[in-house]
Structure 1
């Protein structure tokens, strides 16, 4: 009887430990996470491009909040900052899980484009140039997302692409035909 109570108490402690620490912290019980070797060149390309794109969107979105002359572009810039921060958090987390090193900043072309936009700050030309710059950035990202969804190999990266797609599609519509075009 004492052994039965002791065993029941041990089982209860084990169950409580699993609840507190989470099953995934016990490697023998957790499903294996994909190894870095399970990441294709396309998966890596998406993670890298998405991260750099998110950094650019956050930077230009912040810039639009102060440099745009219309409330609409300032509001869209704020939406982009919010959405791309969330998207980038997923990219960074996924890359870390998979052992994929991400670049520390934007591409040289993105930096040049941000500087060119900044030179127009406070003028009506800024708003039009900002919207015009956002459209190809989003359509290129959508094409890469669609390629990843169709041909990517890592399930975590594919899931990330599927989650990002509606956000990027909405942004594309906002800057192409949408909210700030009269």
Structure 2
């Protein structure tokens, strides 16, 4: 009986929705009880959110490292790629140990960020990249703090620690470009998006589809947290 109760149905290990429009689920509800500590809906959603953030930010970092018009922008892009690859490796490791299904694509909203930046160049790209990454990183930092202070799962705590370090670094490098529009970033961070809930949640991976891997650069200086790995 105890073994049967230790894990709930697999469908609970992928969120119905993420973000501020999530109202149907109870974030503190325990959905699994692995040896590393109780896993709540908020814990699961956090792991998925970390994965989703990297899936859109990593290719944007690649573009910034190549088409940024200043050294600071190109440097920021390189840091995004390096940090996102390392954090994604840790995220996939944790998800595998906890039985959490991860997406292979970012949310529709995040895809729209990437699509917009793909169509830009020059100073407009530099400014929009820095501002968008600053805003979304600020939002994720708030989530990290909430999960880190409430989770009872040791793997989720370790992932939150690494995510905190990585996101703070990303915030710092985009601010060093001198191009962040702080007024716009704050508005984006604090205003609820007027979007359907499904646009804020990454689609689940197709069954049988290989898991997307964010490859670290050859000169990577980042490494997964030993506590996570």
Contact 1:36 1:100 in 2 (8 A): no
SS in structure 1 of the partner of residue 49 of structure 2: helix
2:68 and 2:119 map into 1 onto residues whose CA distance is: 12
Indicate the residue corresponding to 1:181 in structure 2: 178
Farther off after superposition, 157-166 or 93-102: 157-166
**Matches of residues 41-60 of structure 1 in structure 2 within 5 Å?**
41-60=41-60
TM-score by length of 2: 0.60
Farther off after superposition, 156-165 or 87-96: 156-165
Q: 1 or 2, which has the higher helix percentage? A: 1
Contact 2:137 2:167 in 1 (8 A): yes
1:143 and 1:42 map into 2 onto residues whose CA distance is: 13
Larger Rg: 1
Contact 1:117 1:126 in 2 (8 A): yes
Unaligned runs of 5+ in 2: 1-32, 180-229
1:47 and 1:36 map into 2 onto residues whose CA distance is: 15
CA offsets per residue over residues 18-68 of structure 1, 9 Å max, x none? xxxxxxxxxxxxxxx926993211111110000000111211101112232
1:124 and 1:54 map into 2 onto residues whose CA distance is: 24
2:148 and 2:37 map into 1 onto residues whose CA distance is: 19
Farther off after superposition, 46-55 or 62-71: 62-71
**Matches of residues 22-37 of structure 1 in structure 2 within 5 Å?**
34=34
Contact 2:43 2:151 in 1 (8 A): yes
1:62 and 1:181 map into 2 onto residues whose CA distance is: 19
1:104 and 1:36 map into 2 onto residues whose CA distance is: 25
1:153 Cα deviation from its structure 2 partner: 2.5
Q: When the two structures are aligned, how many residues end up with a matched partner?
A: 147
1:124 and 1:136 map into 2 onto residues whose CA distance is: 18
Indicate the residue corresponding to 1:22 in structure 2: none
Unaligned runs of 5+ in 1: 1-32
Q: CA RMSD in A?
A: 1.9
Matched, 1:160 2:159: yes
